Chains A and B, each alone.
Chain A
């Protein structure tokens, strides 16, 4: 009954469909390597391969956008946010998840935080710009704190949902052995939640890495850029030199592409888990 035949029509359509993904990427690579003099106004002038594969555009783009500093800021913000999210949100998910069915207080806190998912950034943006400036947090530290707060509703929902399936007996056994609640959590529960840590880490990392709005609003005056922010500033200053611009775009895409090639399976699993739960 099971049909082992390969579905060739689907296969052919899928291969053709790939061009919609490959074409914009091809465009980016080709333009990034060309010199402005090679860009004639015809299709063939734009889409042909460059005459020489020179890295001059990339060197110049790196210098103009201060690439290494932007990359460093982006990495710093993403890594610290992910680590804090996994530690803080799992802990909070544990405290709320274990108590919300028996205590009105914890149930209220849980609903209070989770309903934060409905608050669009648009309404927080203006007050937060004021507030972070007043608190001296109009910099990457402020951005990280905000991320930890913004992703809290979603991540707590994920963690407390995951905890439902972890039996209380484990904690009780540890308690009989004399371990405190705190130790029990870090020694027993935290390691058990590893699959959920992966999901949370992937979802948080992807959103933080590509986010424009938060750093744009918070870090605007700090002379510091994240990678997307550097592209935005670059565009408004040197937008007409397309070859340089595309070299800069390509540079900003490379880190996440490397990450995707290495962790593709974890990313796909993480995204599906996060959405379905």
Chain B
């Protein structure tokens, strides 16, 4: 009897584990191996040791893509969390047609990022400049996507438009866990307005705050579709995200080996950021 159970579990685990190793572990190992070669994606290649990694740290284009990706991730995370928390507070207050509003505000999240990007591309290229020149704002009368110092703002807006929907829903489920009697007790002590939020609501939804932080940072660091739809890395390579650079130069630019090294570094960065966030949010929760 006992053996039958053990055997069944092994028969389940082994094939599925094999599938996982085949399409996750082996490619990962191969990726690390390619990073030590000068492979172009085809033909012969040689081992070059740490050469790619040394080049990586002196490559201005790679450095720029890291700066851009982190700037986008940090600013978007802050913007998204502030707006979605406000939106969640609004959607959780005493309003009519609550489920209609919640459904409508979640809509952007289910739409494909690529198509959303194309729609916003049109908006930034034609509508926003036309509106700006009507309003007499000269600085916005050309498309922000063709301006190297402003294009990232366009990308941030599109990322935020979709991410706010997701974060809001998570904040709402957080707000619903706050028991009504906390507010009643606070009301007796005369706590209202922003103080009520700062000292009563926010401490109780910190777990949801950390979920949102982790989700946001991880998704924004891997941003790809929006770049593809809005700028293709331009203008003047000002909006190349790390994923986009690896895809673009690695798959078709003949830098298979070099971009593999970039991907390995990116992988390590993602692990460090995720572990740091989990450590940090774990501590925060303990303090409660």
Which residues of A does B touch, CB under 8 Å? 1-7, 10-11, 13-14, 17-18, 20-21, 24, 27-28, 31, 41-43, 46-47, 88, 91-92, 94-96, 98-99, 106, 109, 113, 116, 118-131, 145-146, 148-150, 152, 175, 180-182, 206, 209-210, 212-213, 217, 227-228, 231-232, 235, 242, 245-246, 249, 252-253, 256-257, 259-260, 264, 267-268, 271-272, 275-276
Contacts and interface: CB of A to CB of B under 8 A. Distances in A.
Given A116-B20, A121-B222, A125-B251, 12 more contacts: A3-B94, A11-B96, A92-B13, A122-B243, A122-B267, A127-B30, A131-B23, A149-B22, A213-B224, A228-B115, A232-B228, A245-B118
Contact of A46 (B119, B126, B222): B126
B131 interface: yes
A138 to B, nearest CB: 13
Interface stretch (B2-10, B54-62, B73-81, B190-198): B2-10
7 contacts: A24-B161, A125-B263, A127-B28, A152-B20, A180-B4, A212-B228, A249-B119
Interface string B139-173: 00000000000000000000001000010011001
A127 B127 CA distance: 41
A231 B115 contact: yes
A275 B20 CA distance: 23
Contacts of A31: 122
A113 B211 CA distance: 21
A50 to B, nearest CB: 16
Contacts of B107: 21, 260
Query: Majority SS of interface residues in chain A?
Result: helix
B72 interface: no
Nearest to A118: B271
B287 interface: no
The 7 closest A-B pairs by CB, nearest first: A123-B263, A127-B27, A127-B30, A210-B112, A181-B8, A149-B23, A7-B93
B127 to A, nearest CB: 6
A131 B30 contact: yes
Contacts, number: 236
B94 A4 contact: yes
B36 interface: no
A55 B105 CA distance: 29
Interface in B104-124: 104-116, 118-120, 122-123
A6 B264 contact: no
B251 A124 contact: no
Contacts of B112: 209-210, 212, 227-228, 231, 252-253, 256
A27 B119 contact: yes
B270 interface: yes
Interface residues of B, number: 87
A95 B9 contact: yes
A251 to B, nearest CB: 10
Interface of B: 1, 4-5, 8-9, 12-13, 16-17, 19-20, 22-24, 26-28, 30-31, 34, 41, 87, 89-91, 93-96, 101-116, 118-120, 122-123, 126-127, 130-131, 134, 161, 166, 169-170, 173, 180, 184, 187, 208, 211, 215, 222, 224-225, 228-229, 242-243, 246-247, 250-251, 256, 259-260, 263-264, 266-267, 270-271, 274
B19 A127 contact: no
A206 B23 contact: no
Given A28-B119, A96-B13, A249-B118, A212 B130 contact: no
Contacts of B187: 1
Contacts of A41: 126, 130
B13 A131 contact: no
A118 to B, nearest CB: 5
Nearest to A44: B130
B205 to A, nearest CB: 11
A93 B211 CA distance: 22
